[in-house]
Amino acid sequence: MFGALLALLAGCGTIHLGGSGGKDQPEQSTESVDHEILYDVQVFSPGFTLQVSYTDENGGGGSEQPLGQTWTKTFTARYPDIPELYLTAFAVPNPSSDPTAVLSQPSVLCILWVDGNIADQSQSASAECHAKLTDTVVPPTSSSR
């Protein structure tokens, strides 16, 4: 019986065990692709200003505490050098404002744009946005900025 099984298997050709199930794995693209990035942040509460942390144009971390209630940053991010983007924004009390103005719960809106399309947006007291970049540029849609 063992001989019959061996003869049957011998006629089946190559047997693949484990791994990819015998299928070829697609090759990963190594082509660099530039993406146009726009970070757009606003605080809607009086008496507050913004503090932001973000992935910068070198793939590292940046942070700023701008004066005012809006902040934007534009740059070019090259994939695969920068595979992901993070943006976090907090409302912080403005020391020069009326102390009673900071008694309300602040509201921060962050919008992360990639190639003219909204990749992520969030609104809360501490808003966070995240996007993964790819080797493809998606053209802006008509409802995009």
Give tens-digit pLDDT for 30-54: 789 999 999 999 999 888 899 999 9
- pLDDT at residue 102, as a whole number: 61
**How far does CA 79 lie from the centroid of its chain?**
12
Count of CB atoms situated within 10 Å of the CB of 75: 16
- Residue 55: pLDDT over 60: yes
- Under DSSP, is residue 140 helix (H, G, I), strand (E, B) or coil? coil
**DSSP codes joined into one string, 24-87:** PPPPPP---EEEEEEEEEEE-STTEEEEEEEE-TTSSEEEE--SSSEEEEEEEEEETTS-EEEE
Count of CB atoms situated within 10 Å of the CB of 56: 15
Structure tokens belonging to residue 19: 């791994």
Structure tokens belonging to residue 52: 């932001």
What gap in Å lies between CA 83 and CA 134, rounded to an integer?
7
pLDDT in tens, 74-124: 999 999 999 999 999 999 888 777 777 667 789 999 999 999 999 999 999
pTM of the predicted protein model: 0.74
pLDDT in tens, 127-137: 999 999 999 99
Residue 100: enclosing H or E segment and its boundaries?
none
- pLDDT at residue 111, as a whole number: 98
pLDDT in tens, 5-33: 334 334 443 333 344 444 554 455 578 99
- pLDDT at residue 58, as a whole number: 96
